[in-house]
Every structure is written in C-alpha cells, then in structure tokens.
Amino acid sequence: MVAKHFRCDLYFFADGCLLMEKGYLRKLSNPTLENPFFVQGLPGFGNVGRIACHLLIKFCDAKLFAELYSPSFPDYVSITSKGIAQLPRYEFYYAPMVKNNLVIMTGEIQPSFDDVVAHYEVCEEVLDFVEELGCHFIITMGGIPIGEENKTQVYIAATSPRLATEFMEKGAVIYSKGRIVGGTGLTLAMAKERKLDGVSLLGTTTGFKADREAGFLVFKFLMKALGKEIKEGLVENNAPEEE
Amino acid sequence: MVAKHFRCDLYFFADGCLLMEKGYLRKLSNPTLENPFFVQGLPGFGNVGRIACHLLIKFCDAKLFAELYSPSFPDYVSITSKGIAQLPRYEFYYAPMVKNNLVIMTGEIQPSFDDVVAHYEVCEEVLDFVEELGCHFIITMGGIPIGEENKTQVYIAATSPRLATEFMEKGAVIYSKGRIVGGTGLTLAMAKERKLDGVSLLGTTTGFKADREAGFLVFKFLMKALGKEIKEGLVENNAPEEE
Amino acid sequence: MVAKHFRCDLYFFADGCLLMEKGYLRKLSNPTLENPFFVQGLPGFGNVGRIACHLLIKFCDAKLFAELYSPSFPDYVSITSKGIAQLPRYEFYYAPMVKNNLVIMTGEIQPSFDDVVAHYEVCEEVLDFVEELGCHFIITMGGIPIGEENKTQVYIAATSPRLATEFMEKGAVIYSKGRIVGGTGLTLAMAKERKLDGVSLLGTTTGFKADREAGFLVFKFLMKALGKEIKEGLVENNAPEEE
Amino acid sequence: MVAKHFRCDLYFFADGCLLMEKGYLRKLSNPTLENPFFVQGLPGFGNVGRIACHLLIKFCDAKLFAELYSPSFPDYVSITSKGIAQLPRYEFYYAPMVKNNLVIMTGEIQPSFDDVVAHYEVCEEVLDFVEELGCHFIITMGGIPIGEENKTQVYIAATSPRLATEFMEKGAVIYSKGRIVGGTGLTLAMAKERKLDGVSLLGTTTGFKADREAGFLVFKFLMKALGKEIKEGLVENNAPEEE
C-alpha cells in the first residue's frame, strides 16, 4: 500500500533550491532501505523522546538524509556555533542494519501546542514520507507525567491489542486510559488509521527539565524490544553524553 | 433536498484506508434508515449533552456505524483500556425504531473554543452527513449555566416559533434572549439555515463537574417529547450508570 | 468601477437555501438604490458605533434587506425572545432618501480581535457587497478611548486630506496620529485602497459600558454632516431608546 | 535564478486599484536597479532594526517605490497627521549607488508573534519580490536581548561560514548558539534556503524602549561593512533625529 496523495508542496528552481509553501521536504541523499522501521523522538515532557532518539542516532551512527521544513514550525531561527542561521526543521536519519533498517526522525521543535491543525498536518507529512520510504512499523518515543508510582517505568500504547500485549511481555506497562499529547500520540494514532503497525514507548518523568535518565530508559527498552537486530556491529556501552 | 457539496476530503488507498486532509468520515456500515431524526450530545457545561446522549445510546441499544475525524480536534490521543491509541472523533450510532429511526452522535471532544472557524466547519460536516442520511429533524442537547432559579429545568431553543411553542407545551421553558456556546447552538442555527427543523434541549447546570442529574433530566424530557416512538420495545427503567 | 472578484462562496440548494463555506450573503430583497452612501456601526469601544447605527436605522425607518454570515464570527448563537436560534451575522438595511440613499450595516458581533486575517476577510466581503450595490462613499462609526480632554467630541479620519478638512470644518477634530482598532478602521482604510471615498466618525468614550451619550453624539454629527438630505420627511426628535 | 512562483494574489480593477486576497504588493514606480543589495529593518527588540533602517533611508535619501499589504498584519489602522487612514504595510525604498544599489524595507508592524504561519508567508512574499528585483544579497537588521556583557556590540549571523567570518573580521561577534525571533531571522534563514547570500546584523539592547543608540550602532556597522559604496555622494554626519 502506497499513499497516493503527497501533501508537501514542492517548488523547484532552476538550480534545485526549494520554495516553501506549506512545508517542504529536502532529500540530501536517497538511501535504499528495505522494509525499514520508523523511530521518532520529539521534544516534550522532560524531552524524553528527543533524548532517547539522540542516543539511538549515536548508537547506530545514523546518517542525516532528509529534512522537513514547515511554516507551522516556530517563527525563530537558531544560529549554529559557526554563526549560520537555521530554519526549524525535523531531521531524518537512516541506519542500515542486518535485519531491520531504521529511519529515525528528531527535531528541536514541534508546532505550537495551540495550533492543533498544524500538528495534524505535520504528522501527516511525516507519515506520507516514511510510507513512501517503505516503513510499515512506527515507533514513537516520548515522556508522560509521573504520578505517585515508581519512576523507572516505560509505558506502552499501540495500534493493536496484539502489539500492546507483545510489548507488555517485554516489560512495558500498558498506558491504559492515558492520554498522549502532541506528535508522539498523533503519529501513532494516525499510523493506525493508515493500517500501519506501531507503538509508543513512554518514559515517566517529572518533566521539569531534560530528563536524561528517562530518555536512557526508553532507549534501553527500545534496544531490548528490538533484540539483536540493533545490537549487531554496534558497541553496547555507548554512554549517553549529548543533550 | 440533498446537499450538493460534501466538504470532507476523502483519500482512498488501495486497501480502503483513509488519509486525513481536512476531516474524514469513515463508515463502518451502511444502515438503511427511513426519515431518521438526528440527536447530538457533545461535551460542554456539566457534560449534560454528552451524558444525555450516552443514556439514549444505551437505552436504544444503538449501534456505532460511522466516525468523523478532523484535524481541528485536539492534538492528543486517548489510550483505551487495552492500550490502543485512538484519534479524537465524533461517533455516529443508529437505532431503528418503529416510528422514528434515530441517528445519534456524541464524542469526547469538541474543537477548541478559540478556533471559531473549526467549529463552523465541523458542524457543517456533521450536517452534510446527516442530511445525506436523510435526517430532517435535528435535536441537540447541552447544558446551560444555572442562574438563581430552580435547578430542575429544561430550556428550549428551536428553528421556528411553532416548534418552540410545541416543546414549551411539553414542559420546556423558552430560552428567551439566551446564548448557546459551541456545537450545541451552531448545529441548530446552521440546520435552520438549511431549512431543516430542529430544537436544542438545554439542561441547567452549575457546570463544575459532570452533571449526571441534569443529563438524566434532558434525556427524560427527550423521551417524553418523542413519546411512544422511542419507548417501544425498550426498558423504561434503564438506570444511568456510565459517564 | 466594479469589483471583478466576489469572495463569498455560495452553495445553492434545490429550494434556495445556502450552505456556508467561507461566509455567505443572503439577500432578502433587491432594493434599487441610486448611488447610495454606506454607513457602518459595529460593536467596539463603548458600543458607540453600534448605538449610533441603531439610532440611524430607527430615524430613517430603514429596512433589513441582506445578511452576511461568516465562519469567522463567534461560535455561539443567540436566542430570540421567541426561542429561535440565530447565527451571528451582519445585517444590511436600506433607506431611500430624496438626495442620498443609504445602505446601513450593523451587527451584534465582530470577528475575534485575535483573528486578524478574519477581520480583513470580513471587511473585504462587506466592501465587495456594498461596491456591488453602487456605494462610493463609506462612513464608519466607532468609539475611541478618551484621554484627558473633554468628553463631548467627535474625531474624524478620512480617505483624503480634502475630506478630513471638509469634516473638520463641520466640527470634527482630526484624529491625528491616532489608531483605529477593528472593522471601523479597516473598512475605511481598505475602502481607500479601492479608491472609494469615506470617513470614520469617532466618538470619545471611556468604553467601560455601552455609551449612549457618545453614540448619540456621533449620530447627531452624522445628521449634521449629511445636512438636509437625511432630515427630509423624518422626525428630528426621535429619542434614542433602544440598545 | 528567478522565482517561478509568485504568491501575491493580485486583483486588478479597471482603474488600477487592487483588492486584497492574501497580501498584495503595490508598485509606485519601477526603478531599474542592477544587482541590488536588500536591507531590511523591522520593529522588534528595542526597535533596533527599524531605527537602523530609518537612518539608512535618510542617509541614502532613498525613495519609496513599493508597498506590501497583508491580511496577516494587525487589524488596526494608523491615522496620519493629516487625518488619513493607512493600512499596516511594509514599505520598499530604493537608493541607486555607484557600486551597489540598495532596496530597503521597513514597516511599523510585523505579523503577530503568535501567528507563526503568517510570519513564514510574509517573509516568503518579501523574498519573492526582492528576488524578482534581482537582489542576491540580503541584510536583515534587528536587536537581541543583552546579557551581562558590554552593551556596545554588533552580533552577526549569516548564510555561510565564509560570510560569518568576513563580517567577524569587520568587527562583529558571531551570534553562536543564539536564536533570532521573527522576520529578522526568518528572512535570513529562508534566503539561505533559496541559495541567496546574506547576514543579520544584531545590536544588543535591553529592549525596554526604542533604543536609538543600538540602532545607530548597527547602522554605523553596516556603513563600515559596505565600505565606500554607500558613502559616495552622501554626507557622513547625518545625525539620527527621527524615530
């Protein structure tokens, strides 16, 4: 099944540069990936998803191959250490593995939480792109506010009862009657509407600041859940230093 | 009279799954309903409309047959008790009755009260669909803030003086010079613009929490107003347990 | 000069009812008006514009002939004294006079002050319609916050220095370096962009509540400014009772 | 390279006046400018960019030749000292120089900081227009909040490391790891996406009120950076009086 309708408006110039209308996707290279998994980690509660994603990118030595820009992203730009102005964007990395290739997406931003329609649109654009790449399994990672219970826990939400049970057996707790805010939840639920399989891995956090511990926990759970496919050819003890 | 312009954008995939652009409507089945009434109850003041609607669905043993999704709905997803991620949506149920078939709509959410245009659009989509189903009579149920007066009261607003009087004679008070916020009022007033008949049944409530008493009162009034058509074959004393 | 592009989306049903897409204009009758003036008064500071407009409608015994609906108007509906639900709308009245026919517009609402684009769009729709009716002179009435100075003053802004001077000579003070918020200012400035002539009559007000005095002052100034054209056949001492 | 897609919707009337749909650009004259630089200064922190821009316009005796209107600009109008209502707008000036012609843009407003998409759209419209005019070098000027460090400093962000270094050698400090809010940053970063060269000149300011000193500093740095091209035929000691 391939999406027949690709929403990004692309305006090509003579020399290949692009003009933004609604959002645009710039491919830096065209990696060939057979049947890849898609893994996403965006900023949010305790930055859990983003930290877990950075650990994964480092662990897999994943390569940047595409960028998604959107007029729904914040209206400020970041300056690099060398003084270069950068538009807000989502970055796509790939990591070819022996069994399961990975497409990994992260970013410094999400659309404003007030701009509900933008959230749906951007998730749609992400799913359009990763479906085009052949991804049929979607993993979103994020943080959820901690309650009274113990901190070191990963919760799971899924696109089917079978998957929820499968990941529960691997050690996650079903996030029963919970609510997932922003891209972490929307991408999963919209993937389900497209008949894709997927899960959200949710680390409990107080969320007051970047929660490296929760991020590492989610990353570790992802490693364990995906089993040897990810470990092959990679150093296990890659310490999480960035973020 | 049939609407000539249906606003939902539908994108079909090879295997029948849908891609959201502006909003989409997914039909789970195609019940044949002759000349049905449309009854709607959404969250709002004291959740009166939603509670009344749940009582009606239970009482009639109504069956889910369609779902409306919209990018204007909140950007979070709910997780079921089994761990499944669900996009926010309106649910349509049908209940075939001896005299008047019913189409019943409820949901856990409404568009944000700040997003005025979204409210109009979603009501339009609802009316497009129920007109397509052949509904010519629209009943919206909701709560209104209580004043000094006695609590146990149902107010009425209508699409014509004749209907307002008719329901007044059945025991409701005309909601003279009042104001109805959100979908409960808009659906009624937009139905009137389409030359449909309809009423709003409004239960007074303090609105601080889910008001089961007001919801039951509105439900009871609806039963009485529709007379024996609804009662046939149904247990009268179905106690309101859910919500 | 006639507008070549009419923005209202009109969807006609078999029996003549309309379906709202972006906004729609419903004509109740088609009065023939030669070279009419357009006068507008909307809610705002002290409701000065709206009060002045109501006095004018009463004074001229003007007749309702068209209504403008918009999904940018607030998402609540008002209930009439007879219990009928009404969508928010702008109302257009006409008053045939010996010299200058009038088209008068008022309403209970404006688009939300946060929704900037909606404000521009609705003013555009109003100007499209009144240009179509042949109006070449635009008068908007409103309130402006009072400073230290004396209260009983009408300020003027205009589409040309000639008009500003002309109305100054009639007793208004030029609203030099001022700022006019919402439809009262936008309609005037957008009329200027279309090469229409026009003025804003602005009554000073504290704006804390409906300011009948300021509204009457603006109405009186309008009468005086238009001179005998308006007075003909009308009772001068029509006391302002409503609002 | 010329943009193939021009977003401004232009509606022409018989006598040449324009009707706003999304935004429109009105040309007052068609100056011939070979290979001009584009310089922009909008309101923001301490109004640094706007003040610097006004100094530049005065210094170069630049002439107004185009105006950009947008429904995303604020929904109020300003009244001139002569009483004329003016829609919010960006103004484009040109200054023919011996070596580098200049196109200079300033305005009293920016889109609301909440309306993220509008910010992107308006910057896109500005770049479309200046590319059409043949500008390949973009200079945006603005203010940034001051930290602990000394006040009298100009920071630099650029579209390439080469340009950042070049301006650093002229005395600016690289705004490493900084963030630029609004049009000052977006225009630069979007110019980079179009393969245009450019820099942002950023004056430190407390930002509490219009900071003439910071504005003058940025202006002076621009003069120095552009070298003798600007100075030719112009009085050096043009004191900054306005704003």
Contacts of C214 (CB under 8 A, 6+ apart): C46, C48, C51, C143, C151, C203, C204, C205
pLDDT tens for the 243 residues of chain C, in order: 222 222 323 333 323 334 455 778 999 999 988 889 999 999 999 999 999 999 999 999 999 999 999 999 999 999 999 999 999 999 999 998 777 799 999 999 999 877 888 999 999 999 999 999 999 999 999 999 887 665 679 999 999 999 999 999 999 999 999 999 999 999 999 999 999 999 999 999 988 788 999 999 999 999 998 875 454 444 344 434 343
- How would residue D148 be classed by pLDDT, with cut points 50, 70 and 90? low
pTM value > 0.90: no
DSSP D124-157: HHHHHHHHHTT--EEEEEEEEE--SS-S--EEEE
| Chains B, D in contact, 3 or more Cβ pairs below 8 Å | no
Which residue of D1, D120, D141 is the best one to mutate when testing the A interface, meaning the one whose CB has the most A CBs within 10 A?
D120
Tokens 């109740």 correspond to C28
- Which stretches of A76-234 are assigned E, i.e. beta strand? 76-79, 85-86, 90-95, 102-107, 137-145, 154-158, 173-174, 179-181, 197-205
Q: Which of A16-20, A134-138, B46-50 has the lowest mean pLDDT?
A: A16-20
| pLDDT tens, residue by residue, C32-50 | 888 899 999 999 999 999 9
Per-residue pLDDT, B13: 31
The confidence score (pLDDT) of residue B14 equals 28
The packing angle between helices C183-193 and C116-132, to 10°, is: 60
DSSP state of A35: S
A3 in contact with chain B, both atoms CB, cutoff 8 A: yes
Using a CB-CB cut-off of 8 Å, the residues of chain A touching D193 are 17-20, 69, 87
Angle at alpha carbon of residue C187, lines to C183 and C193, rounded to 5°: 145
d(CA D139, CA D106): 12
pLDDT higher than 70, residue B230: no
**The predicted structure's pLDDT at residue A115:** 84
pLDDT at C8: 29
ipTM of the complex: 0.82
Work out the percent of chain A whose per-residue pLDDT is above 70. 82
pLDDT in tens, D155-165: 999 999 999 99
CB contact under 8 A, D81 and C168: no
Q: So what's the pLDDT on residue A1?
A: 27
With 80 as the cut, is the pLDDT of residue A6 above it?
no
Contact list, A82 vs chain D (CB under 8 Å): 161, 164, 174, 176
The residues with which B179 forms a beta bridge, in sequence order, are C78
Q: What are the pLDDT digits (tens) for A98-129?
A: 777 999 999 999 998 778 889 999 999 999 99
**D75 with C120: Cβ contact below 8 A:** yes
Q: Beta strand A102-107 with A90-95: parallel, antiparallel or unpaired?
A: antiparallel
With CA atoms as reference, the chain B residue closest to C72 would be: B117
CB D93 within 8 A of CB D104: yes
pLDDT at residue B116, as a whole number: 87
Nearest residue of A to residue D115, measured between CA atoms: A75
In this predicted structure, what is the pLDDT of residue D150?
59
Tokens of B80: 């079921």
Tally of CB atoms within 10 A around B104: 24
Other chains touching B, judged by 3 or more CB pairs under 8 Å: A, C
Say yes or no to pLDDT of A39 above 70.
yes
Report the pLDDT value the prediction gives residue A18, as an integer from 0 to 100: 42
Of the candidates A12, A13, A20, the beta carbon closest to that of D190 is on A20
Mind listing the pLDDT tens digit for each residue in D70-123? 999 999 999 999 999 999 999 999 998 767 799 999 999 999 877 888 999 999
| Sheet arrangement for strand D85-86 | C179-181, D76-79, D85-86
Q: What is the pLDDT of residue B5?
A: 29
What band does A158 get if pLDDT is binned at 50, 70 and 90? Answer: very high
CA dist., res. C16 & res. A108, Å (int): 52
What letter would DSSP give residue C7?
-
Q: Å from B200 to nearest chain C CA?
A: 9
* pLDDT for the residue B20: 52
Which candidate, A175, A146, A136, A183, places its Cα nearest to that of A158? A175
Query: Whose CA is closest to A183, among A240, A241, A109?
Result: A109
CB of D243 within 8 A of CB of D54?
A: yes
| Highest-pLDDT range among B147-151, B227-231, C7-11, D78-82 | D78-82
Q: Which residue has the higher pLDDT, C63 or D228?
A: C63
Instruction: Find chain A residues with C-beta within 8 A of D197's C-beta.
Output: none
Residue B123 confidence (pLDDT) above 90 = yes
DSSP B22: S
In this complex, whether C and B touch, counting 3 or more CB pairs under 8 angstroms, is: yes
Arithmetic mean of pLDDT over chain B: 84
Q: Residue B24's pLDDT is what?
A: 87
Residue type, D81: S
What pLDDT is stored for residue D241 in this prediction? 39
Q: How many CB pairs under 8 A join B and C?
A: 117
Q: How many CB atoms lie within 10 A of CB A74?
A: 19
Q: Is D82 on the interface with A (CB under 8 A)?
A: no
In this structure, of A36-45, A55-64, A234-243, the range with the lowest mean pLDDT score is A234-243
